[in-house]
Amino acid sequence: MADLEAGKPFNIDISNEKLEILRRKLELTTFPDDILANENDWAHGPPLPTMRRLVEYWRSGFDWKSVEARLNLLPQYIIPIDIDGFGNFNVHYLHMNKGAKNAIPLLMIHGWPGSFFEFTKILGPLMNGDGDEPAFEIIVPSLIGYGFSDGAKEPGFSCFKQAEMCHKLMLKLGFGEYVVQGGDWGMIITHILANTYYPEHVKAVHTNNSDKCNPPSFFANPIYWLQNQLRGPYTAAEKAGIERTQKFMNEGYGYHLMHRHRPQTIGYSIMDSPVGLLGWILDKLQDWTDNYPWTDDEILTWISIYWFSTSGPTASLRLYYESSRAPKKEKKKGFAWAKCPMGISHFPMDINVSPVVWSRPMGNFVLERVHKSGGHFAAWEKPDILAGDLKDMFKKGGPVYGVVRGRDGY
């Protein structure tokens, strides 16, 4: 079934010239004052001591070429994908467990500020099945404007076009039927895929985020409204999640509004200044995770993939602007209640931590899991837990076992 059209093998190879430009820019950094009494207080954003340490290490100690060599151990490819109205894009992707007998074809989609790198911890657990657990053949694309895929050269490339790219990639690789997992923008694109290509191509989907931050309304979702009314008082964990969501919307949503309305304004800063890019993304890595013990190498690998991306870090922001201005007809169809079988994993330190019933207007949930720890980047923070949820969904006796014809994972 696979390899209807093979992609061209790809290795990351950042030139010494680009590395030297980065080093010189870091060397010329002018830092702002930090007026907080506690040097480790993140109330204003990344603390000055943290930024100084990371910038110095990025300049003089971080070994990108070693990171590059490790990343190049992963099977990476480039393939041209024609997008209606936009022409051809060279799309970068990982293809894991290629050709594995009966493995379930799984498309995994990242968001911002993630990348293909975000999924590297979960690949092993998902590839290795046994008598009790299914195995997956995994395709991880870099979205258009992210990582080592091309960026759009004209306006209008929204999340709906990203979904078209993902679907056409799977068809080109020979997967007429497949399943999808995604978080952040990946969650949005996964929902669009479910509403556009189910039941012929997309057979089931899973997400680790919800897009519902308010309770179901009586007029829009009377059944779920009634479920919410009859379920009893919210638990302490649910109350904490609602408070976290409200805090995020009040204090942490500014980046989203900037990306949606003025991406070019912040784009000059993160395109020209590696320190500006570091501060802009590090703030999210800290705030959106559950006390995850980030190492400096992890942070700088995460940021460097943006810095060295094919179309530059500013390109990634435009997805917010273009998606918010997509035609209403596309939004109505793409974000409707999905008939496709869906699974969802809730993590308490995500940016939107709603009670389970609040998420149900998204679609036909056949698996719902609530976890006691973890945040927004579940594939990175909690790879074994997220992999376990996926395996439970697709295993023998699971709610969607055998949903892809001839590829049940065993």
Q: Which of 34, 150, 184, 350 is catalytic?
A: 184
CA 142 – CA 247 distance, rounded (Å): 31
Beta strands in 178-313 (DSSP E): 178-182, 202-207
3-state secondary structure of 46: coil
pLDDT of the residue at 1: 45
pLDDT of the residue at 110: 99
- Residue 281 in contact with residue 307, Cβ under 8 Å? no
Give the residue extent of every domain in the chain. 1-27+44-402
pLDDT of the residue at 105: 98
Residue in 166, 108, 218 with CA at minimum distance from that of residue 334 = 166
pLDDT tens for the 410 residues of the chain, in order: 454 567 999 999 999 999 999 999 999 999 999 888 787 899 999 999 999 999 999 999 999 999 999 999 999 999 999 999 999 999 999 999 998 999 999 999 999 999 999 999 999 999 988 788 999 999 999 999 999 999 999 999 999 999 999 999 999 999 999 999 999 999 999 999 999 999 999 999 999 999 888 888 888 888 889 998 888 889 999 999 999 999 999 999 999 999 999 999 999 999 999 999 999 999 999 999 999 999 999 999 999 999 999 999 999 999 999 999 999 999 999 999 999 999 999 999 999 999 999 999 999 999 999 999 999 999 999 999 999 999 999 999 999 999 999 999 99
Q: Is 201 a catalytic residue?
A: no
pLDDT of the residue at 131: 80
Residue 93, exposed/middle/buried by CB under 10 A (0-12, 13-18, 19+)?
buried
Question: In 31-92, which residue ranges form alpha helices assigned H by DSSP?
Answer: 48-60, 64-71
pLDDT of the residue at 4: 58
Q: Is 376 a catalytic residue?
A: yes
pLDDT of the residue at 38: 80
CA 227 – CA 387 distance, rounded (Å): 29
pLDDT of the residue at 231: 86
Q: Is 184 a catalytic residue?
A: yes
pLDDT of the residue at 12: 99
User: Dmax over Cα atoms in the chain, in whole Å?
Assistant: 63
pTM of the shown model: 0.96
- Look at phi and psi of residue 102 and say left if phi exceeds 0, alpha if psi is from -120 to 50, else beta: left
Q: Which of 92, 95, 167, 376 is catalytic?
A: 376
Q: Report angle CA 32, 35, 37 to the nearest 5 degrees.
A: 140
Q: CATH says 1-27+44-402 is which class? A: alpha beta
What are the angstrom distances between the C-alpha of 377 and each of 60, 116, 295, 347, 383? 28, 12, 15, 9, 9
Q: Which of 93, 178, 320, 321 is catalytic?
A: 320
